[in-house]
Amino acid sequence: MKGVGMVSIGEAALRAGVSARTIRFYEQEGVIRPAVRTSNRYRGYSDSDVQTLRFIRCARALGFSLKDVGSLVELYRNNKRASRDVKRLALRHIAQLDHKLAELKAIRDTIADLAVRCHGNDRPDCPILDGLQRPRNRRLAATSSFAHAE
């Protein structure tokens, strides 16, 4: 690829540990700047771009939303950033994770209770199926983000 230190989208994807499709998606969503176009109109990526893509991959692996990843990338690129802004994002993410963990624990506890009450024999009556028909924990059914997932 022409251009000093520039690599193709395929090579950038390989080096960053993401797919070329993911890179195009991040560009489309404004998480990263559009790639430099070479004379033959191919996307060109610098070492800095690849490092940013690695950074994004790590942030996504930690569960940060795409919006928060965009904010983190802006902060990452800004040498005059205040670390309190980064910490604020991280603490908000921790609070969201704590909420999800509490929700998952409530779901797990409900299923465990139903499983304990099921005899697991050859008879057709089953507290698990009855519980799914009439959730014992109405709060769980009403507040769970999983209750409406399809």
Maximum pairwise Cα distance, the chain: 73
Tell whether the model's pLDDT for residue 134 goes beyond 90. Answer: no
Phi then psi for residue 76, to 5 deg, are -60, -40
Cα separation of 146 and 150, whole Å? 8
| Percent of residues, the chain, with pLDDT higher than 70 | 87
Check whether 148 has a pLDDT greater than 60.
Answer: no
Answer yes or no: are the C-beta atoms of 75 and 31 closer than 8 Å.
no
pTM score above 0.85: no
Residue 146 main-chain phi, psi, to 5 deg: -80, -20
**Cα–Cα distance, 81 to 74 (Å, whole number):** 9
- Per CATH, the number for 9-66 is 1.10.1660.10
Domain ranges of the chain: 9-66, 83-143
pLDDT at 14 over 90: yes
Q: How far apart are CA 91 and CA 38, in angstroms?
A: 41
Residues 69-96 have pLDDT tens digits of 999 999 999 999 999 999 999 999 999 9
pLDDT at 113: 92
